[in-house]
């Protein structure tokens, strides 16, 4: 992720106490969450059975964003903070900017059905590394602003500066919801920094390798695979190119969802409104479940997982429901905590 309002990195760098870090970790949680509704919507908008290749990539990215949110929240819990996940303002207003000025203040993220321009113009901007490794014809832009990488670097430095006794509260952390090597308890500065490395690596890759794990490109490059219709591979010359197995995109295989749906997309008292409200309520319940999970009741994560299944069903039912009878476009999910 590139372009972050410098005040967040600078503020973090000048913080002096454990308590001052709470704000920045809370912001990290909000940031990691803020990409989930747009990514999730794009994923939901793929009709079942069509575009499975793209669907699998989107799904893998969404799951990792949830992991990143979990990591940030666990670190905050570990140093004695209380994540706030269901408060007003936690869910950004879509279409709108992401938290911490990600991508610049004019960068607007919509809630929209999957499209190649959405991936290229929005998702790849969100995930762009500090210095993207040239792939095929892609060229990196020289960075001249603060980056999210710097933010996490600064966070690591500050966490390392804390007294070891500042870490703990393992029984209040959410552990085991993802694979063990990625979702482990934050017991000390080392485990916190390892976890942050996962966030950065999965999101951006390293400075020399776009793969965060064998066969697993970082988010930016996974979105690149979707845009260029091929898996990322290492070429014979040692460079990288989108020249592997094809990733087909069937344009008919996307629900024709109207961009940026709002609560009043259907009039009150209609079945469509009920579906729409059911989704919004389900998402709010998800945030409530997560809030409880990170505030002393980690077992609540199971209810959150259950809600994820229900949300997919509700979203796809909405996306299959025309806003006006026998016409396009269809409705879509509305994310709000209020």
Partner 1 sequence: MSYLDWPRLHFKGRFQADTSTVNNDVRHYKSDAFEPQFQAMMVGHGQGQGQAQRTNGYWNPEGSGAWRLVHCRITSAVLASKTITSARADPVVGMRIAGSDDRVAGKLVDLDPQQQAVSQIWGLRVALEDDRNVRLFDGHYDVGTFSNLWKRQQIPANFDQTLAAAFQSQVNHVQWSEDLSHSEALSALRAACNDGPLSICFNTFGFDREPSAPDYTTGVVAGTIGPATPAEPKHFVLGRQLVAPLRDGNPTAPLHGVYSFTCVVHAGARVLSADMGNCLPILHADGTLQDVGELSLAVAKRHDVAAGDRVGGRELAMIGTIPYQRPLWYERTAGVIDLPYGHDGWLSENIGGHPVLLVRAAPADTYDVLVRETADGLYVRADSHVCRLNPGQAAEVTLYGTRFGTPHGMALSLSADNSLIGGAGTGATLNPERWPVPDVGVPASALSYPATLELGPDGKGKLELSASESGPGCPRGYLDGQVYGVGYRIQNTPSNYIENPWNFVSCLLWDAWAVPDEPTWYRDIGPILSQYGNLYPIMSRHLVDLGDYDSVVKHRQSLIFCFELPVSDPNSMPVSRDLSDNKRQGILRWLKNVGPDGLPAKGTPEDRPKASAPSHTLAGAAGVSPQARPQERPPDPGGMLDYLNEVLKQQRGRLTKGGDES
Residues that bind partner 1 (CB under 8 A): 48, 269-271, 274, 278, 282, 284-285, 288-289, 292, 300, 302-303, 305-307, 309-310, 312-313, 316-317, 325
- Cα three-residue angle 55-61-62, rounded to 5 degrees: 85
CB of 21 to partner 1, least distance (A): 28
- What's the rounded Cα separation, in Å, for the pair 59 and 258? 21
Q: Which is nearer to partner 1, 124 or 257 (CB)?
A: 257
CB of 175 to partner 1, least distance (A): 15
CB of 181 to partner 1, least distance (A): 15
- What's the rounded Cα separation, in Å, for the pair 191 and 193? 5
CB of 172 to partner 1, least distance (A): 17
> Which of the 8 DSSP states describes residue 93?
P
* CB neighbour class for 330 (10 Å; exposed up to 12, middle 13-18, buried from 19): buried
Residue 327's region, left for phi above 0, alpha for psi from -120 to 50, else beta, is: beta
CB of 329 to partner 1, least distance (A): 19
- What's the rounded Cα separation, in Å, for the pair 338 and 333? 15
CB of 40 to partner 1, least distance (A): 14
Q: Which is nearer to partner 1, 187 or 317 (CB)?
A: 317
Q: Which is nearer to partner 1, 48 or 239 (CB)?
A: 48
CB of 170 to partner 1, least distance (A): 22
Q: Which is nearer to partner 1, 132 or 282 (CB)?
A: 282
Q: Which is nearer to partner 1, 208 or 325 (CB)?
A: 325
Residue 292's region, left for phi above 0, alpha for psi from -120 to 50, else beta, is: alpha
Q: Which is nearer to partner 1, 2 or 40 (CB)?
A: 40
Q: Give phi and psi for 224, each to the nearest 5.
A: -60, -40
Distance of CA 167 to the CA centre of its chain: 26
In this structure, the dihedral spanned by the alpha carbons of residues 274, 280, 285 and 286, taken in order and rounded to 10 degrees, is 130
- What's the rounded Cα separation, in Å, for the pair 202 and 222? 10
CB of 189 to partner 1, least distance (A): 31
Q: Which long-range contacts (CB under 8 A, 24 or more apart) does 281-284 make?
A: 282/307, 282/310, 282/311, 282/314, 283/37, 283/91, 283/311, 283/333, 283/335, 283/336, 284/86, 284/336, 284/337
- Cα three-residue angle 193-220-145, rounded to 5 degrees: 70
DSSP string, 127-181: H--SSPPPBTT--PPPP-S--HHHHHHHHHHHHHTS-GGG---GGGS--SSS-TT
CB of 306 to partner 1, least distance (A): 3
């Amino acid at each position: 992720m590139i372009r972050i309002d410098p005040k967040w990195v600078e503020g973090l760098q000048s913080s002096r106490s454990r308590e001052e870090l709470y704000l920045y970790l809370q912001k990290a949680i909000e940031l990691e969450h803020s990409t989930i509704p747009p990514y999730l919507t794009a994923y939901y908008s793929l009709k079942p059975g069509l575009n499975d290749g793209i669907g699998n990539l989107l799904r893998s990215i969404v799951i990792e964003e949830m992991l990143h949110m979990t990591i940030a929240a666990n670190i905050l819990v570990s140093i004695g903070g209380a994540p706030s996940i269901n408060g007003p303002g936690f869910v950004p207003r879509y279409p709108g900017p992401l938290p911490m000025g990600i991508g610049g203040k004019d960068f607007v993220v919509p809630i929209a059905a999957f499209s190649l321009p959405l991936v290229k113009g929005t998702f790849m901007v969100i995930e762009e590394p500090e210095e993207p490794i040239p792939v095929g014809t892609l060229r990196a832009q020289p960075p001249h602003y603060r980056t999210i990488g710097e933010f996490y670097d600064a966070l690591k430095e500050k966490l390392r500066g804390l007294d070891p006794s500042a870490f703990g509260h393992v029984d209040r952390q959410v552990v085991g919801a993802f694979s063990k090597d990625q979702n482990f308890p934050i017991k000390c500065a080392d485990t916190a920094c390892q976890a942050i490395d996962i966030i950065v690596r999965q999101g951006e890759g390293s400075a020399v390798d776009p793969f965060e794990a064998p066969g697993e490109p970082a988010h930016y490059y996974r979105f690149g695979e979707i845009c260029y219709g091929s898996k990322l591979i290492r070429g014979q010359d040692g460079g990288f190119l989108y020249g592997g197995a094809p990733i087909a995109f069937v344009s008919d295989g996307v629900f024709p969802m109207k961009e940026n749906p709002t609560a009043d997309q259907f009039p009150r008292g209609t079945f469509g409104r009920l579906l729409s409200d059911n989704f919004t309520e389900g998402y709010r319940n998800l945030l409530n479940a997560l809030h409880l999970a990170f505030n002393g009741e980690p077992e609540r994560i199971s209810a959150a997982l259950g809600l994820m299944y229900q949300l997919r069903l509700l979203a796809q039912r909405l996306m299959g429901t025309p806003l006006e009878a026998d016409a396009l476009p269809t409705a879509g999910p509305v994310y709000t905590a209020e």
